[in-house]
């Protein structure tokens, strides 16, 4: 099929460091879009429901170790295995709200010291988001939020490195920074003010990441 569609859905991605409120805001946004009469679906990476996702889950939970290269490629493969479904939904007019994407893949791997260009390669050609909402949160506030520290990457010093890489990846042509401080409702209003014009505009055909 062609990637052309006048009324295609828009791909909205949430990125940002641990506990910044991405999952909370994704859920609020889906609810809002549906209330306003849009077709909208929520997706999350890693998708821990697939067999690759299960391997990722075991790594994050510290049940198994993997070489840095291997886990990086598994995270990327986990996005590629979702690509057909995503494209079908977008071309069918459904907006997608996606909780983490290729930028997390690069940021968390490069923060370990891996080469940034190497890390970017496997995600080249994934569907490009129409908008990336980059959520920020003061690191001390983040570590005070519930459940911080349970998984492999949930350490303050490591999150600081991740944040630095995210800053390098920011592309002002389609990224918007949203401050994660404030009430869930206030942050949601800021998110919706960014997303609303995107869902109602013609963003042209689907594009590919970094091509």
> Contact at 8 Å (CB) between 11 and 128?
yes
- Near ligand Z5A by CB under 6 A: residue from 5, 42, 60, 66: 60
If one asks whether residue 122 binds ligand Z5A (CB under 6 A), the answer comes out as: no
Phi-psi region of 120 (alpha: psi -120 to 50; beta: other; left: phi over 0): alpha
Q: Which residue is nearest to Mg ion (CB)?
A: 23
> Contact at 8 Å (CB) between 144 and 2?
no
59, two tokens? 């790594």
Q: How many residues interact with ligand Z5A (rule CB under 6 A)?
A: 24
Q: Which does 3 bind (CB under 5 to 8 A by kind): ligand Z5A, Mg ion, none?
A: none
How does strand 131-136 pair with strand 95-99?
A: unpaired
If one asks whether residue 163 binds ligand Z5A (CB under 6 A), the answer comes out as: no
Residue 148 DSSP SS3: coil
Q: Which does 42 bind (CB under 5 to 8 A by kind): ligand Z5A, Mg ion, none?
A: none
The residue ranges that bind ligand Z5A (CB under 6 A) are 18-24, 45-46, 60, 75, 99-100, 104-105, 108, 145-146, 151, 153-154, 183-184, 187
């Amino acid at each position: 099929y062609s990637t052309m569609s006048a009324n295609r859905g828009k791909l909205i991605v949430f990125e940002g460091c641990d506990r910044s409120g991405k999952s909370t805001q994704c859920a609020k946004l889906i609810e809002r879009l549906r209330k306003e009469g849009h077709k909208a679906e929520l997706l999350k990476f890693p998708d821990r429901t697939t067999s690759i996702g299960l391997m990722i889950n075991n790594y994050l939970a510290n049940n198994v170790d993997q070489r840095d290269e291997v886990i990086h490629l598994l995270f990327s493969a986990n996005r590629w295995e979702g690509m057909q479904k995503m494209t079908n939904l977008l071309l069918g007019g459904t907006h997608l709200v996606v909780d983490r994407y290729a930028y997390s893949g690069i940021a968390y791997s490069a923060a370990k010291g891996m080469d940034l260009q190497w890390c970017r390669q496997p995600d080249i050609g994934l569907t490009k988001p129409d908008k990336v909402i980059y959520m920020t949160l003061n690191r001390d506030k983040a570590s005070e939020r519930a459940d911080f520290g349970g998984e492999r990457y949930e350490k303050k010093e490591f999150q600081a490195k991740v944040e630095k890489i995210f800053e390098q990846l920011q592309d002002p042509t389609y990224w918007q920074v949203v401050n994660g401080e404030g009430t869930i409702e206030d942050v949601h209003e800021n998110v919706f003010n960014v997303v609303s014009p995107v869902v109602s505009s013609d963003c042209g055909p689907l594009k590919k990441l970094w091509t």
